[in-house]
Amino acid sequence: MTPFGSDAGAGSRDTYGGYRARLVDQLRAQGIRDLAVLQAFSVTPRHLFVPEAVRHRAYEDAALPIGNGQTISQPFTQARYLETLGLKGDEKVLEVGTGSGYQTALLAALAGPVFTIERVPALAKSAQAALRSAGLNVSMLVGDGTLGWSAYAPYDAILVAAGGPEIPPPLVEQLSSRGRMIIPLGARGAQKLTVVRRTAGGVQTTPIGDARFVPLVGEHGFDG
């Protein structure tokens, strides 16, 4: 029996459906109210995005190692993130830090076209494979996401999944005038989750809570 791969998604052969429903219950119990966000978690097969060694823990509300010193974020943190973005379904979204691809898949369930950038080629490769096996077609770039992806700008929403010392200016430039960005800002290992909006004169930033993300490494991030 192969409990993953061909049984992706919420299809009838999906053996993980019960675990996923329990995860959604936990998110709801912790205060996640956005029905679209809860629905995205209930249809997205997290087990396809974690390495085999930790697959039995795929539906725990916990961060898990995904290799190359990186982690797949805790579902609750991701749910908060997504709730804050308030996606309605048709937005063009840029994600910086694909990691496992799980959050990319959640974004694909919640928004319009999703563009994602990952700097570690091995992670990009396995994320792309997982996204495909989940039946999702996402545009992916391997490179420094602090430079954004100008070819498809502007974006209605930008989600940065790694913590940086400053707001990368190219990401502000690539945000649509009514768009919003969410980015953990601060030192390595301790950041403030921050919402960024464009204003006539520059940007407006609103801190919304503490966060601990892996470092954003790049030209407008930390040194590698």
Binding residues for ligand SAH, rule: CB under 6 A, are: 70-73, 96-97, 99-100, 102-103, 117-120, 123, 144-146, 161-162, 214, 216-218, 221
For residue 128, the minimal CB distance to ligand SAH (Å) is 13
For residue 65, the minimal CB distance to ligand SAH (Å) is 11
For residue 123, the minimal CB distance to ligand SAH (Å) is 5
By beta-carbon proximity to ligand SAH, the closer residue of 49 and 91 is: 49
Residue type, 156: D
By beta-carbon proximity to ligand SAH, the closer residue of 38 and 48 is: 48
CA distance 161 to 81: 9
Q: Which two tokens stand for residue 195?
A: 């919402």
By beta-carbon proximity to ligand SAH, the closer residue of 70 and 180 is: 70
Q: Which residues are 116's β-sheet partners?
A: 95, 140
Respond yes or no: is residue 73 known to be catalytic: yes
Question: What backbone phi and psi angles, to 5 degrees, belong to 88?
Answer: -105, -15
Residue corresponding to tokens 């063009």: 92
By beta-carbon proximity to ligand SAH, the closer residue of 38 and 131 is: 131
By beta-carbon proximity to ligand SAH, the closer residue of 12 and 121 is: 121
Catalytic residue among 6, 73, 176, 177: 73
Compute the half-sphere exposure of residue 165: CA atoms within 13 Å on the CB side of its CA. Answer: 9
For residue 214, the minimal CB distance to ligand SAH (Å) is 5
Q: Which residues are catalytic?
A: 73
